[in-house]
Structures are given as structure tokens and as C-alpha cells.
Amino acid sequence: MTVLNNRISLVALACAFVSPALLAEDSSLTNPAISAVLNGYYQTAERPLAETAEGFGLGETELAMSANIDDMFYGKVTAVVEMHDGETELNLEEAFIQTMAMPAGFSIRGGRFLSDIGYLNNQHLHTDSFTDRPIAYRAFFGGHYFDDGVRLNFVAPTDLYWTIGAEAFKGESMRAADEHGEREFKNVGVYTLYSKIGGDIGDNSSWQAGLSYLRNENGQVTAHEEGDEHEDEAAEEGHDHSHAASYTGKNTYGADFVYKWAPNGNYKYQNLTLSGEYYRVTDFVPSDLHPEDAPSKDYHQGWYLSSVYQFTPSWSAGVRYGEVDTQELHGDHFHGQKLKESEVSLAWHSSHFSTVRFQYTNQKGTNFDGIEDDNVFTIQYIMSLGAHGAHQF
């Protein structure tokens, strides 16, 4: 991550993105699509592992450009500007190329991109119906998992949608904590496998279900030396705004589904989305841990269920419930932790391109950042400028 405090650099970056727009009459399949997403909020309390902090703040301000490079390749760059603790951070969230002319339903993507595991992970944050990702995503994927790597994907030639893919990533943001800097990490740290199926039920409904597996070579925790607790907590404070996963393990198993309904399949006036995901992270216990220090459970798990109902073209409302159940290493032993989040959101859409959202979250925690029973209110806007790319199902 590069930290840029220089405003001129940001302006230069913005110009680099915008100037082709002046040359192109409009954006289309053949000309670059250039867009920016503006995102700001006010939040009444801290949320654990969230991208948003207490008080006024800017969320991810996104600048994206995508186009067909030639008849073989498509490319996309998404730069994200974030403010944290008075510093402006510039991060590249996507910088990838994808093949377009491979035969038999195969495609390869390389560079930096969002992993295709799960339902939400490959979607951009600004398309979410809630102000933050579910706690399971924040705990296990650092909010959303993007990384440098390569993907091979296959779509089967069947009427029932079936896709299967495999990815390999550097995995830096998925490494287990290493405060002494003594560990040897593997260069290719993360491998994933995923498969999704989906289809329609009559004219009114569509669905998709997926299974995913993430192998994290660097996910197993190493045992701390005695008397490390203070360092440990200090290290964690600093983690609050990084995109690193907070709870890792060697193996992560996931299952996801989404169901969408609209009368006659017409999404303009009313539609309903039901979605849910479950993750279980295993093999995180240090191999040299004394057996009597073993955690009460040898897995972390987290899940959420959400439902969003758009009841007029301008209004939508959502409810979401999610929880995580994790084991945190404190020195030489584990503490069980749990967080439950119940959320309600109401959003007003002046058009397709602007959203103002109100959200209420109740957080109930057990040994989780000192949270017992907290209420968080958030007001947020998300607005997109320019030729915005299509959104996924």
C-alpha cells in the first residue's frame, strides 16, 4: 500500500483516469468505461474489524477504468482512495487482465482481483445493501479478499448454470499474525477452489448456490512466547484498518446461496433478495502447542443471513443477522470469542446511481473487543459518477 499525502498526485491520478473520457464521445463496449464512486458516512460508534470508524468519515472512494484491450484481452483498474487517521491511502483493489477468446468456456484472469469464493466476495463494497460487510467477512477475509494471483474458470455448456474455478494468490493479507517476524512464509500462500450452480424458477425467481474451499499455506498460527500478551494487543490495535484477515487457519470451507424474486421478473418496481453464507476455518492451532492449552473448539465459524426488499424504485429496506465464533490466541492459550450482529437498513435511491442509507446495528459480544451490547447508527451515501460497469447477480 502506498501512502500519498500529496494532493497533486491524487489530482494527477484523477486526470489520468478522466482525460480519455474527453476523447471518447461516450462509453460503450469498445471505449473505456470510467467511473468514480463517492462514499461518505457518519457512524455513532466503533464496529469491530470494520472499514468504517466512529464519527464522520469517507468510505472507499473508487476510481475505475475498464475496457477491452483488444480482441483477446479485457482489463480493469480500480484504485481506491481511503482516509485513515489523517492520512490519505491509495490502494489498488483491482488491476487485472482477463482472456476473452479462450475456447470451450474457459477464461483466465491474472493480476490483482477479487477472489470468486462465496457470494459477496467478488462484488464491490459499494453495491452492498449494508454499510459494512458481514462480521464473518471482516473476521476471515479482511472485509473482502482481493490479492495478486491468477484464476482459471470454466463455464459448462449446460442450461443449468454451472461454473467451476481455481485460483492461486500471494496471500499476504491472509497470513497468520507474525509479530516477531521470524516465520518463513510461502510465496504462493493461498489456493482456492469454487463451484457455483444457478438457474431460474419460472419467470419470477432466480437462484444461485456455491461451495468454496480456501487453502491457506500460511494460515496456521505459531505459538507465542510467554509474556507476549501486551505486544499482542498493541499489534491488534494497529490492525483495525488494514485489509488483513484477523482469524486465519489452514483450511476454510464455505457455502453460499442467493435467491432473488421480482414479480414477472421485472426488477424495476419491486424485488427481493435473500442471501446467506457460512464459513468454517480449521487447522489454526499451533503445532507445538501443549495439548492442555488447546482451544475448546478447533475451528472458527461465521455466517450471515440477509434479506433486502426494494419496495418502490426509490426505497429499499434490509435486515441482516450474522455472527462469528472464534478462538483468539492470547500468549500460550486460546480464548473463545463471539459476536452477534443484528442490522436493519433503509435506503433511498434518487436514481440508479445514488443511494442514501440509514442503518441500525445491534452488536452483542462475548469477549469481543469489550463489546457487550452496543447500538450503532450509521448514515451513509454512495454515489457513482460516469460509465459504471454492470453489476453481478
Partner 1 sequence: MRINSNFVKAAAAALYIACSGFAHAELNVFACEPEYAALAKELAPNANIYSATTALQDPHQVQARPSLIAKMRQADLVVCAGADLEIGWLPMLQMKSANAKVRSTDQGLFFAADQIDTLDKLASVDRSMGDVHAKGNPHIHFDPNRLLTVANALSAKMSQLDPSEAANYQKALADFSTRWQAAIPRWEEQAKALKGKKVIAYHTSFRYLFNWLGIEQVADLEPKPGLAPTSGHLASLLSRAEQKDILAVVVASYQDERGANWLGEKANLPVLMLPMSVGGNDASQDLFSLYDNAISLLNGVK
Residues 12-31 that bind partner 1 (CB under 8 A): 25-26, 28-29
| Identity of the residue, 153 or 306, whose beta carbon is nearer to partner 1 in the bound complex | 153
- The sign of the torsion formed by the CA atoms of 177, 182, 188, 191 equals negative
CB of 37 to partner 1, least distance (A): 14
Q: Total binding residues for partner 1 by CB under 8 A?
A: 53
Beta strands in 85-127 (DSSP E): 87-99, 106-114
Query: CB within 8 A of 306, min separation 6: which ones?
Result: 129, 130, 134, 273, 274, 275, 276, 318, 319, 320, 321, 322
Read off the C-alpha cell for 293. Answer: 492449552
Of 86-94, 96-104, 168-176, 232-240, the segment contacting partner 1 by CB under 8 A is: 96-104
**Residue 320: which of 306, 303, 341 has the closest Cα?**
306
User: Considering only residues 95, 97, 155, 244, which one is a binding residue for partner 1 as defined by CB under 8 A?
Assistant: 155
| Helix ranges restricted to H, the chain | 7-23, 135-141, 229-239
| Identity of the residue, 360 or 381, whose beta carbon is nearer to partner 1 in the bound complex | 381
Read off the C-alpha cell for 391. Answer: 453489476
Q: What is the largest CA-CA distance in the chain?
A: 69
CA-based radius of gyration for the chain: 21
Residues 135-154, mask of contacts with partner 1 (x by CB under 8 A): ------------------xx
CB of 130 to partner 1, least distance (A): 19
**Residue 333: which of 370, 289, 281, 288 has the closest Cα?**
289
Residues 101-120 that bind partner 1 (CB under 8 A): 101-103, 105-107
**Residue 149: which of 113, 118, 121 has the closest Cα?**
113
Q: Does 160 bind partner 1 (CB under 8 A)?
A: yes
Residues 254-273 that bind partner 1 (CB under 8 A): 260, 264-269
User: Considering only residues 203, 225, 233, 298, which one is a binding residue for partner 1 as defined by CB under 8 A?
Assistant: 203
CB of 320 to partner 1, least distance (A): 20
Q: Is 141 exposed, middle or buried (0-12, 13-18, 19+ CB in 10 A)?
A: buried
| Identity of the residue, 111 or 265, whose beta carbon is nearer to partner 1 in the bound complex | 265
Q: Does 310 bind partner 1 (CB under 8 A)?
A: no
Of 6-14, 205-213, 243-251, 364-372, the segment contacting partner 1 by CB under 8 A is: 205-213
| Identity of the residue, 106 or 377, whose beta carbon is nearer to partner 1 in the bound complex | 106
What does the binding site for partner 1 look like in residue numbers (CB under 8 A)?
25-26, 28-29, 71, 74, 98, 100-103, 105-107, 153-163, 196-200, 203, 206-208, 260, 264-269, 312-314, 351-353, 385, 389-393
